[in-house]
Structure 1
């Protein structure tokens, strides 16, 4: 079973800091970048997510998948505070070779990585609705 959930970033994280973004490579072929069904290149951004757990600050590196023509975050320096557009988490059953559920597999994805300091200019993916309204 696969389930996707939209993430309210301001209620979930104290901060999200950009680390890097690299092409997502095809399984078994580290030289070929994966693409969507429409041929759009896939990327994997690494971020530091800071949140509170049991009253204590916790930091974890998360990998977030996205698709874009150009490298998302190319203009972002490491440790730049960011906001992820259309950020969601996906969860699906993890199964063994016999098809028995052994746990859960979790992934993150978004449509765009944008600096929180950006003023109407989209970073990474397509133009934002803010930029289109200007």
Structure 2
């Protein structure tokens, strides 16, 4: 079973910083970029995300998948605060050979990345 959840970035994270963007390579072939069904190249953005858990700040490095004709992080310097447009989290069951659920796999996906550094505002304050 697969579940997708839309994420309200401003309410979920206190900050999201872009670390870098790389082509997503095809499994078993580090030289071939993966593409979506429609032929659009796939990318992976590495991000540092901060959120509050149990009243304390927590930080995680997350990889977010994107599909774009050109590098979605182009012209965004590493360390720049960003907003993820159409950001969602997916959760999928992991099963063993006997079809028993052994855990879950979590993945992140976004439609685009936009710098919020120019305005100095948090994503909730940026006009869409």
TM normalised by structure 1 equals 0.86
Moved over 2 A (4+): none
Q: CA deviation at 1:53?
A: 1.0
Distance 1:79 1:97 in 2: 42
Aligned position for 1:21: 21
Aligned position for 2:67: 67
Q: Secondary structure in 2 aligned to 1:107? A: strand
Aligned position for 2:6: 6
Distance 2:118 2:43 in 1: 21
Distance 1:97 1:18 in 2: 38
Q: CA deviation at 1:98?
A: 2.2
Higher relative contact order (CA 8 A, sep 6+): 2
Q: Secondary structure in 2 aligned to 1:70? A: coil
Aligned position for 2:40: 40
Matches within 5 A, 1:1-134: 1-117=1-117
TM normalised by structure 2 equals 0.90
- Aligned-residue Cα RMSD (Å) equals 1.5
Q: CA deviation at 1:97?
A: 2.3
Instruction: Report Cα offsets for 1:6-34 as digits up to 9, x if no partner.
Output: 00111100000000000001111111110
Distance 1:56 1:11 in 2: 15
Q: Secondary structure in 1 aligned to 2:64? A: strand
Q: Secondary structure in 2 aligned to 1:35? A: coil
Structure 1 unaligned spans of 5+: 120-129
